[in-house]
């Protein structure tokens, strides 16, 4: 948990739009209110994601490539090496020990930081059992979080509800990045367990990922600025 990151850099806006035009329009509307964007499967598989990522980096923005890599080690290593050429700040991998070690090798020598996804938040204990796991959600998250630290991965993606416990388990050095964040009064969309930006940051999150409350706001720029103000409040509430 570092205090060196600026409040604005702590907000990562999920650019969950289908194409280049929508992405460019949103980035232009947000202007300097947002410095960090998450580019995910929709924009990348739609074809525009990597060009948009390069353009954002060239423009001085930070980029988080959210492709949640998971394959045999050779493929993950080589895919990560390709992602590292984009100039992105973060990329995601699933928190399997082989996968994380391979991604580390692929990112070696670059500034790309790796974030591990421990257990998808759509999974509950029954889902894990039917998928053949011996652990419930809570235990599997803790096990994988420790394996991620062991693998030298830089941080974790996790629900804000897990931030405090993971911070206590992992200590200050792992980056904790939390989606599932909703400003007070914002629509939940399909998110069920949410926290406000201030609470997520106070609980130990380093960055928060927010999509629709910004991108679907009548005034996205004002929405982003209000979230950054909430982040500032959260920083003052950290223990």
Q: Which residues are tagged catalytic? A: 68
At closest approach, how far in Å is the CB of 210 from ligand C5P?
A: 5
Q: Which is nearer to ligand C5P, 49 or 179 (CB)?
A: 179
Residue 121 or 196 with smaller CB distance to ligand C5P = 121
Give the residues lining the site for ligand C5P (CB under 6 A): 14, 16, 40, 121, 179-180, 189, 191, 209-213
Give the CB-nearest residue to ligand C5P.
211
Q: Is 40 helix (H, G, I), strand (E, B) or coil?
A: strand
CB under 8 A, 24+ apart: contacts of 27-32: 27/52, 27/56, 27/61, 29/220, 29/221, 30/214, 30/220, 30/221, 30/224, 31/221
How far from 84 is each of 79, 89, 96, 109, 137, CA to CA, in Å?
Answer: 9, 9, 20, 9, 31
Cβ of residue 95: shortest distance to ligand C5P, in angstroms? 13
Q: Is the dihedral of CA 200, 122, 96, 69 positive or negative?
A: negative
CB of 220 vs ligand C5P, minimal distance in Å: 12
Q: Rounded to whole angstroms, how far apart are CA atoms 134 and 140?
A: 9
């Amino acid at each position: 948990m570092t205090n060196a990151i600026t409040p604005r850099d702590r907000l990562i806006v999920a650019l969950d739009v289908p194409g280049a035009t929508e992405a460019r329009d949103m980035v232009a509307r947000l202007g300097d209110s947002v410095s960090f964007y998450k580019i995910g499967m929709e924009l990348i598989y739609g074809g525009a994601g990597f060009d948009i990522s390069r353009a954002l980096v060239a423009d001085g923005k930070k980029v988080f490539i959210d492709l949640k890599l998971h394959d045999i080690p050779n493929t993950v290593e080589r895919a990560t090496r390709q992602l590292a050429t984009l100039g992105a700040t973060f990329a995601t991998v699933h928190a399997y020990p082989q996968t994380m070690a391979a991604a580390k090798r692929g990112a070696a020598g670059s500034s790309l930081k790796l974030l591990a996804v421990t257990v998808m938040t759509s999974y509950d204990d029954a889902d894990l059992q039917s998928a053949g796991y011996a652990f419930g959600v809570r235990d599997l998250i803790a096990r994988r979080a420790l394996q991620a630290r062991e693998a030298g991965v830089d941080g974790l993606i996790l629900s804000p509800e897990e931030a405090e416990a993971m911070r206590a388990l992992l200590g200050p050095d792992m980056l904790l990045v939390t989606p599932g964040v909703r400003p007070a009064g914002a629509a939940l969309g399909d998110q069920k367990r949410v926290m406000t930006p201030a609470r997520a940051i106070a609980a130990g999150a380093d960055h928060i990922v927010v999509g629709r409350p910004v991108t679907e706001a009548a005034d996205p720029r004002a929405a982003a600025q209000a979230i950054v103000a909430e982040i500032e409040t959260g920083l003052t509430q950290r223990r």
